């Protein structure tokens, strides 16, 4: 297990607006951002997943929070947005290769999420963004997160909805070449950025079963994001129309799952 104390300055806003920008965007993110901002103007009740979770963090009203980013990767929008309420932010990922661009954390440790290198009841909040899909043993990870959370602490996460239709298509197609092409244009993943994914906790039903073993479930819901299938004005309009249809297909049109869990006070 290796620990890296960050010497770089903390993230700063590069572009303000609905969904602030803290780092250089890749081609997929540059395509998606205008459509997310446009959809928010047209559908004010909707919030993009990162914005939604950031607002939830703000509503916790925790001062000088000690926060763990579980599966930290290259950054964390929620931590960037709430730096004023965070005293110390620690990240964990399995390799230093995955965290080279991360400047939003105070410290990063390399470790497996199934065995977190922290004492019991250390953190006020644990955040996990786009990591649950990579877990071989989700229940073990949820147990570890419960262990390092303070009583009444919060675990918030987002992960892809494995019932989301484009994702199901990617998983169904057996052609490696076509699969890589869809991954690149739908999700912005180059081959070298595609990590093993098991999707063992990526439906509402599976997450509910696992979550209730260790936490009080405060919120567990699907959240759409039509920017994934918005490549131009026509595809944006079609995606928006489809989203208006009655969702009778078990979340086929909803991109993400959002969870807000609270550690029980025994």
Q: CA-CA distances (angstroms) from residue 101 to 60, 73, 114?
A: 28, 8, 24
Give the tokens for residue 9.
């300055």
Residue partners of 55: CB distance under 8 A and separation at least 6: 47
Give the tokens for residue 173.
């197609």
Give the tokens for residue 68.
């763990």
Q: How far apart are CA 220 and CA 131, in angstroms?
A: 16
Q: How far apart are CA 166 and CA 178, in angstroms?
A: 13
104 three-state secondary structure? coil
Q: How far apart are CA 119 and CA 170, in angstroms?
A: 40
| Alpha carbon 190 to chain centroid, angstroms | 19
pLDDT average per 10 residues of sequence, the chain (266 residues): 66 90 87 96 97 97 94 94 95 88 92 96 97 95 98 97 86 65 61 71 96 98 94 94 75 92 91
Please measure the distance between the N-terminal and C-terminal CA atoms of the chain and give it in whole angstroms. 31
Which residue bears the tokens 């950031």? 54
Q: In what order do the strands lie in the sheet with 86-93?
A: 2-5, 107-110, 86-93, 65-70, 123-129, 149-160, 256-263, 215-223
Domains and CATH numbers, the chain: 2-160+198-263 (3.40.50.150)
163 conformational bin, left if phi > 0, alpha if psi -120 to 50, beta if neither: alpha
| Alpha carbon 130 to chain centroid, angstroms | 4
Q: What share of the chain is helix, strand, coil (3-state, %, to 5)?
A: 40, 25, 40
pLDDT of res. 168:
84
């Amino acid at each position: 297990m290796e620990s890296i104390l960050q010497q770089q300055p903390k993230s700063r806003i590069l572009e303000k607006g609905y969904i602030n920008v803290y780092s250089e965007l890749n081609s997929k993110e540059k395509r998606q951002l205008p459509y997310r901002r446009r959809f928010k103007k047209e559908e004010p009740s909707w919030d993009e997943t990162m914005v939604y979770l950031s607002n939830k963090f703000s509503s916790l009203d925790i001062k000088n929070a000690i926060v763990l980013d579980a599966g930290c990767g290259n950054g964390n929008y929620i931590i960037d947005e709430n730096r004023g309420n965070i005293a110390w932010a620690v990240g964990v990922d399995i390799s230093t290769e995955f965290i080279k661009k991360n400047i939003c954390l105070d410290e990063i440790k390399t470790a497996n999420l199934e065995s977190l290198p922290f004492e019991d009841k250390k953190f006020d909040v644990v955040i996990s963004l786009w990591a649950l899909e990579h877990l071989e043993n989700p229940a073990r990870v949820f147990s570890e997160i419960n262990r390092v959370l303070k009583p009444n602490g919060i675990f918030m996460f987002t992960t892809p909805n494995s019932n989301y239709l484009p994702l199901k298509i990617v998983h169904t197609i057996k052609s490696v070449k076509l699969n890589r092409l869809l991954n690149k244009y739908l999700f912005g993943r180059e081959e070298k950025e595609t990590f093993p994914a098991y999707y063992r906790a990526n439906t509402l039903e599976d997450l509910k079963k696992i979550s209730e073993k260790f936490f009080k479930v405060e919120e567990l819901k699907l959240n759409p994001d039509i920017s994934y299938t918005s490549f131009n004005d026509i595809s944006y309009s079609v995606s928006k129309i489809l989203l208006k249809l009655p969702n009778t297909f078990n979340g086929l049109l909803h991109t993400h799952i959002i969870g807000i869990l609270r550690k029980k006070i025994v």
